[in-house]
């Protein structure tokens, strides 16, 4: 399947070949803390788009909040990217990563994989 990247303001949208939005990353910055809303599905075949976006942000910022309140699916590659991102923050940036809005199926995936023990997680969205 072919995917298309579309950038609008502070949003990165990943569209499928029928122009349906699969994933949207909404970014905002408040007090040098980057908030990224992860909306939709983090499929294996587009997880690298999430990785590219997160890594690019680490060149300017060290504090991150990832909001999963509107995430409907996260595949294994998406989980690996989160783990690599946490390691990058810990090893090189001396920063912080907080996951918020982790609930439902996403919460179950984090629990089943043991990732809930690896991240600082708040169930409620802070913002």
Check: CB of residue 84 under 8 Å from CB of residue 108.
no
Instruction: For residues 51-76, give the mean pLDDT.
Output: 95
How does pLDDT run across 29-46, given as a tens digit for each residue?
Answer: 999 999 999 999 999 999
Who contacts 60 (Cβ-Cβ below 8 Å, separation ≥6)? none
Distance of CA 89 to the CA centre of its chain: 14
How does pLDDT run across 71-118, given as a tens digit for each residue?
Answer: 999 999 999 999 999 999 998 878 999 999 999 999 999 999 999 999
Query: Has this prediction a pTM greater than 0.95?
Result: no
According to DSSP, the residues that pair with 51 across neighbouring strands are none
Instruction: For residues 4-33, give the mean pLDDT.
Output: 94
Residue 92: predicted pLDDT:
80
Residue 125: predicted pLDDT:
58
**What domains appear along the chain, each with residue ranges and CATH number?**
22-122 (3.30.750.24)
Please state, in angstroms and rounded to a whole number, the distance separating the CA atoms of residues 117 and 110.
8
Residue 126: predicted pLDDT:
54
């Amino acid at each position: 399947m072919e995917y298309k990247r579309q950038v609008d303001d502070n949003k990165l949208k990943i569209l499928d070949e029928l122009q349906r939005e699969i994933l949207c990353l909404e970014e905002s910055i408040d007090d040098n803390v980057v908030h990224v809303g992860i909306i939709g599905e983090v499929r294996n075949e587009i997880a690298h788009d999430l990785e590219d976006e997160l890594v690019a942000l680490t060149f300017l910022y060290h504090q991150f909040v990832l909001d999963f309140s509107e995430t409907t699916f996260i595949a294994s590659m998406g989980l690996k990217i989160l783990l690599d991102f946490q390691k990058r923050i810990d090893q090189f940036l001396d920063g912080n990563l907080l996951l918020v809005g982790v609930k439902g199926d996403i919460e179950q995936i984090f629990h089943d994989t043991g990732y809930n023990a690896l991240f600082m997680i708040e169930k409620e969205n802070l913002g």
